[in-house]
Amino acid sequence: MRAAHPPPAADTTALSRLLGTALDALREGARARGGPLPAGGPEAVARRVREVLGEPFPETGRGSQEALRTLVRVLAEGAADPADPLCAAHLHTPPLALAAAADLAASALNPSMDSWDQAPAASALEAEVTAALAAEVFPAAPHPDALVTTGGTESNQLALLLARERHGRVTTVVGANAHHSFRRAAWLLGLPEPVVVPTPSGTIDPEALRETLHGAPARTDGGPVLVAATAGTTDGGLIDPLPEIAEVCAGARAELHVDAAYGGPVLFSSVHRRLLDGLDRARTVTVDLHKLGWQPAAAGLLAVRDAADLAVLGHTADYLNADDDTEAGLPDLLGRSLRTTRRPDVLKTAVTLRALGRTGLGALVDRCMELAQDLADRVEKAPGLDLRERPVLTTVLFRPTGADDTTVAAIRRALLAGGRAVLGRAEADGRLWLKATLLNPHATPGDLDRILTLVEGGTHR
Ligand SMILES: *Cc1c(COP(=O)(O)O)cnc(C)c1O
């Protein structure tokens, strides 16, 4: 007898049965892990995966239920789980259930955003939602727009590409606090290495920027310049002084890009949005919704103040957007990305915006901001811990009093190896700090205390 072919995702009865299995496996895996990450470190985890996996591509298949149960379970068991409040190293968000559910629907339908005949409603939805989000970033601009990207790295790269295309060439000026993706983007695009303005205080000093732009033309070659400022540094959650930087840029005829991958969603908070004053003076803005935004990856955006800036991305491939198809009214989507096949990542975001509204999303931002202040208070009160400075966003840098850098690094690794907590590390003031990035609105004061207790326990073992 011929084996039955596996059912397609469109068979929702089959999908629902498999989904039940996947959800059971998620629960079982999380229970087996019992903490924010698996204990034992990389070797133990890799050994466990190899054992369970056996042959990755067997001659005879083991069947859908077994494969799904086994591998989802082992992945969950060995996950660094952002839903655990003690998993707080990176901008690694605990995704919302509704966004994950929407993402499943997106996978099942599998629209591809490179041509209208693969994504009729999805492309229309993307157009509406990106327009609305672009207007959040550039409320006063007549024609803002936004592209959906895989994240801050791709958005920053596109920002440099657009600047290069406006001018033929461009030198990027960044703070020493900027994301590493600018250096790679310049490398990839054949641009000069970014000129780096030192940021000893953690953010760009507008005077130092002015000197770089005016005082030393050799450094920027006297040619076109794109200044990339950061709203939410990856290491410290700090925000460059955007209004002052925008002034300096205007005075030096430099263009401004703001990397708000981390801080951008603060726009949704009526309490905190003033922190982003000046953001709309940028020409382009990077925003990630898979950080503050609670989307499963990927959910990046590049917002542009003027949609006309995107025209250079136009590109024709006859099978996708032949001129006569476009003239006949089929939307031309190929210029919305450098990718071709592209997931409808906008669906989960659209669902989230509709479900929570600005107020609901803003409340999640506010809660994480509160947690960061609370953690900072607790660090200040702990006799054995030093706080780097009061948090601006949701990142708290701290270290045991008197510990050397080697000890700080060792504490972090011991917590990882024990599966007890996932904290990050960051250099500031020439020293190494532990970093807690708080993106979990469900974290409790008790969780914050547990983090600190674990770190304090690590200093006298
Ligand atoms: C996270 C981050 C990026 C990179 O974004 P990805 O989504 O990881 O590609 C860029 N800039 C800043 C400031 C970030 O925090």
Q: Give bridge partners of residue 398 from the DSSP assignment.
A: 387, 434
Q: Which atom of ligand 1 is nearest to the CA of 179?
A: 11
- Interatomic CA distance for residues 124 and 101, integer angstroms: 20
What stretches of 322-404 show up as alpha helix (H) in DSSP?
A: 323-327, 346-381
Q: Which of 93, 156, 288 to mutate to test the pocket of ligand 1 (most atoms within 8 A of CB)?
A: 288
pLDDT above 80 for 461:
no
Q: What percent of the chain has pLDDT over 70?
A: 97
Give CA–CA dist 188/415, Å, rounded.
37
Q: Pick from 153, 158, 188, 258 the residue to mutate for probing ligand 1's pocket: most ligand atoms within 8 Å of its CB.
A: 153
Q: What is the pLDDT of residues 241-280, one digit of tens each?
A: 999 999 999 999 999 999 999 999 999 999 999 999 999 9
Over the stretch 340-368, which tens digit does the pLDDT of each residue have?
A: 999 999 999 999 999 999 999 999 999 99
pLDDT, one tens digit per residue, over 391-424 is: 999 999 999 999 999 999 999 999 999 999 999 9
Burial label for 96, CB within 10 Å (0-12, 13-18, 19+), is buried
Measured by CA distance, the residue closest to atom 10 of ligand 1 is: 152
Q: Which atom of ligand 1 is nearest to the CA of 154?
A: 9
**With 80 as the cut, is the pLDDT of residue 1 above it?**
no
The conformation of residue 430, written as its DSSP 8-state character, comes to T
Please state whether beta strands 225-230 and 171-175 pair in parallel, antiparallel, or not at all (unpaired). Answer: parallel
Q: Quick check: 75 pLDDT over 60? A: yes
Backbone angles phi, psi at 284, to 5 degrees: -140, 150
What's the pLDDT at 394?
Answer: 98
Q: Of 2-6, 83-87, 294-298, 452-456, which range is least confident?
A: 2-6
What type of residue sits at position 190? G
Q: What percent of the chain has pLDDT over 90?
A: 96
Rounded to 10 degrees, the C-alpha dihedral 373/377/382/385 comes to: 50
DSSP 432: E
3-class SS of residue 80: coil
pLDDT greater than 50 at residue 207: yes
Residue 222 has what pLDDT? 76
Question: Is pLDDT at 2 greater than 90 in this prediction?
Answer: no
* Topology (CATH level 3) of domain 104-354: Aspartate Aminotransferase; domain 2 (3.40.640)
C-alpha 326 to ligand 1 mean position (Å): 35
- Residue ranges lining ligand 1, Cβ < 6 Å: 91, 151-153, 156, 179, 181, 230, 232, 234, 259, 261-262, 288, 300
pLDDT at 3: 63
Calculate the alpha carbon distances from 290 to 66, 117, 279, 420 in Å: 31, 28, 20, 24
**Parallel/antiparallel/unpaired status of strands 424-428 and 431-437:** antiparallel
Q: What angle do CA 313, 318, 320 make, to 5 degrees?
A: 70
pLDDT above 80: residue 220: no
Would you state the pLDDT for residue 219?
Answer: 63
Predicted local distance difference test score (pLDDT) of residue 216: 61
Per-residue pLDDT of 127-149, as tens digits, reads 999 999 999 999 999 999 999 99
Q: At which residue do the structure tokens 């073992």 appear?
A: 461
Sign of CA dihedral 184, 185, 187, 191: negative
Residue ranges per domain, the chain? 12-78, 104-354, 356-458
Beta-strand pair 284-288/255-260: parallel
The ligand 1 atom nearest the CA atom of 178 = 13
* Ligand 1 atom index nearest CA of 231: 13
- d(CA 189, ligand 1 centre) in Å: 18
On the question of pLDDT at 459 being above 90, the answer is: no
Q: Is 398 exposed, middle or buried (0-12, 13-18, 19+ CB in 10 A)?
A: buried
356-458 has which CATH code? Answer: 3.90.1150.10
Model confidence pLDDT, tens digit, residues 84-138 = 999 999 999 999 999 999 999 999 999 999 999 999 999 999 999 999 999 999 9
Residue with tokens 């799904």: 68
For 84-94, b/e burial (b = at least 16 CB within 10 A) is bbbbbbbbbbb
Own/partner pairs, 387-391, CB within 8 angstroms, 24+ separation: 388/236, 388/428, 388/429, 388/433, 389/202, 391/237
| Confidence at 460, pLDDT banded by 50, 70, 90 | low
Centre of ligand 1 from the C-alpha of residue 176, in Å: 15
pLDDT at 218: 46
CA distance 184 to 170: 15
Q: Does residue 324 register a pLDDT over 70?
A: yes
pLDDT at 205: 98
* Confidence band of 448 (pLDDT split at 50, 70, 90): very high
